[in-house]
Amino acid sequence: MNVGVLSLQGGVIEHINHLKSLGCNAVEVKKISDLENIHGIILPGGESTVIGKLLKETNLLDPLKEKILRGFPVWGTCAGMILLAKEIENDENTYLSVMDIKVKRNAYGSQIDSFETEKVIEQVSPNPLPLIFIRAPYISSHSNDVKTICEIDGNMVAARQNNILATSFHPELSKNLEFHKYFLSMCNKSKE
């Protein structure tokens, strides 16, 4: 299976390595033609404002948005979640605007802006998963179509709306591959 990683800025290589560890052909997506022949795409962490600007400059924004609206599997981690959101609490811009979520950027303030915890997420794995947060957003509101995957301290930090998966944290920064496996199963189902 071929899975793309949006490769404009941010934590690209870690996702590519995880996909390769799972026997997947990881494709760097930098231009429109890279969107052909992939079965899903990961939007990495980084700076949402920078990645959003580059999405527009490379003309990737509209074709990617159309694909997602037609059911193409996508997973946004951290900044990637912000790119997917239809509303951003503390930013006037929106980017792909495909997921019915409102997100708060840098939601954890300066004191605990980066932290790590562990949690069992039953949809993904029976074992506790390491969750690494780096200047992370969380989901402050959402429509009924959006299903919770994980909450921490009452805040939604992972969610799914059909073909769209979003996590505030960074599974690619731990050795654990379970979240990538979960996304690959979404890609497999949509391929069939």
**Positions in the binding site for ligand GLN (CB under 6 A):** 45-48, 78-79, 82, 105-106, 134-135
- Tell me whether residue 39 or residue 105 sits nearer to ligand GLN (CB atom): 105
- Tell me whether residue 40 or residue 46 sits nearer to ligand GLN (CB atom): 46
- Tell me whether residue 38 or residue 78 sits nearer to ligand GLN (CB atom): 78
Smallest gap from residue 81 Cβ to ligand GLN (A): 8
- Tell me whether residue 4 or residue 39 sits nearer to ligand GLN (CB atom): 4
Structure tokens at 72: 């193409």
160 is in an annotated binding site: no
Q: Which of 18, 142, 170, 180 is catalytic?
A: 170
180 is catalytic: no
78 is catalytic: yes
DSSP string, the chain: -EEEEE-SSSSHHHHHHHHHHTT-EEEEE-SGGGGTT-S-EEE-SS-HHHHHHHHHHTT-HHHHHHHHHTT--EEEETHHHHHHEEEETT-S--SS--EEEEEETTTTTTTTSEEEEEEE-TTT-SSEEEEEEES--EEEEE-TTPEEEEEETTEEEEEEETTEEEESS-GGGSS--HHHHHHHHHHHHHH-
Smallest gap from residue 45 Cβ to ligand GLN (A): 3
14 is catalytic: no
92 is in an annotated binding site: no
Q: Which of 24, 78, 150, 187 is catalytic?
A: 78
- Give the residue numbers marked as catalytic: 78, 170, 172
Binding-site residue positions for L-glutamine? 46-48, 105, 134-135
